[in-house]
Amino acid sequence: MKRRDLLRAFGATTALAMLPSDALAAWTRVGSGVPLAQGLTEAQLALVGAIADTIIPRTDTPGATDVGVPVFVNVIVSENYGDDERAAFVAGLEAIDARAKTDGGASFAELAPDARGAVVGAIESLERRSEPARTYWRLKGLVVHGYFTSEQVSTQVLKAQITHAKFDGAAPMPVRAATPPSDRSDAHA
């Protein structure tokens, strides 16, 4: 199974299992274009974008930045994280970039795709509770969740409607003709 096929299957499953209303609210906020009060800096967004495209690169389907995942992550971090949690996330991003500079000789965003993959591989092999792995895994979850709940991916790649457009409790139901009960004595014979 190819990596992209695995991500599609995983994404379809997790997108349905996660809270689609929360993702819909975040994507609605992304679409509003209103600036975020405590959003990530341009450099941090560039780093998030580079990591996101390393996790889900553009192939025959759009990559993570093509569907706006960095902005989705920015909304989640700025509006759903508390001050301490946001500060820890930003510090973790800095640790990821420092690891890239140590391992690859440049900031993560400046590395070639193969070098980015090597840095991600090294981080994924670390203990998940230590930095920079802790932030990387948290970011990876946001990237995958954001990617597979984006409208473009859910409708054009997965070809599924993950969230309902609206609920209509008074929707008409088709009327079925009643079937006569069968003779019970014949059923046991």
- DSSP assignment of 24-75, as one string? HHHHHHHHH-PPPTTPPPHHHHHHHHHHHHHHS--SSS--TGGGTHHHHHHH
Average pLDDT over residues 127-131: 93
pLDDT in tens, 20-69: 456 666 656 666 666 666 788 999 999 999 999 999 999 999 999 999 99
- DSSP assignment of 81-114, as one string? S-HHHHHHHHHHHHHHHHHHHHHHSS-GGGS-HH
pLDDT in tens, 133-144: 999 999 999 999
Return d(Cα 44, Cα 49) in angstroms, integer: 9
Q: Give the CA angle between residues 133, 135, 138 to the nearest 5°.
A: 105
Could you tell me which of 63, 80, 66, 65 has the C-alpha nearest to residue 23? 80
Return d(Cα 30, Cα 17) in angstroms, integer: 22
**pTM for the whole structure:** 0.70
28-to-22, 151, 161, 175 alpha-carbon distances in Å: 10, 10, 16, 38
Name the one residue in this structure whose structure tokens are 């209303």: 21
Q: Is the predicted pLDDT of residue 156 greater than 50, yes or no?
A: yes
pLDDT in tens, 73-91: 998 888 888 899 999 999 9
